Structure 1
Amino acid sequence: MKSIHRDITIADLAEQFPESVGYLSERGIRCLRCGEPIWGTLAEAAREKGFSETQIKQIVDVLNARSSGFNSQGKSKTQEK
């Protein structure tokens, strides 16, 4: 299974882990502009919003934990049953 890391591009994050976009948006980290992924990495986008390196690591950890409960279309694996 693929995992999320601090240097994943926002485009790859949105494509591979679409459920992560909402989580990041709730924290003020923009992933999409005019329907298209923004340029740069997750860490760069978080730094632009003032997140520390420790906070970025926490975000990555949360995203990885949350992504294990979703399929590639962003739907809860419990919804598939």
Structure 2
Amino acid sequence: MRIWFKSWKDNHMLHDFMVEDESDETRTHKIFNAVDKACYEFDTSKPVWLDSTIREFKRHGKARFGSDNFVDDIPFDYLEIHVIEED
């Protein structure tokens, strides 16, 4: 599984990060582990999965975590997650 993370500010991509996971974990565990790695890379707190974020992710394989998804202030407008390849 390959998951691409991008942080955006004022319609410009600030930083991107790719996570590849070839483990035997479930899809959900792979995604949560990838989010943990990306948040460490971006030096930000972990986002909260709101119902709207979950629906968007299930429907399109990608989602945006905005300021509502984070407890702390974030240095970007939103963090985008996009599954680009699945096992």
Give the TM-score, by structure 2 length. 0.27
More strand by share: 2
More helix by share: 1
Give the TM-score, by structure 1 length. 0.28
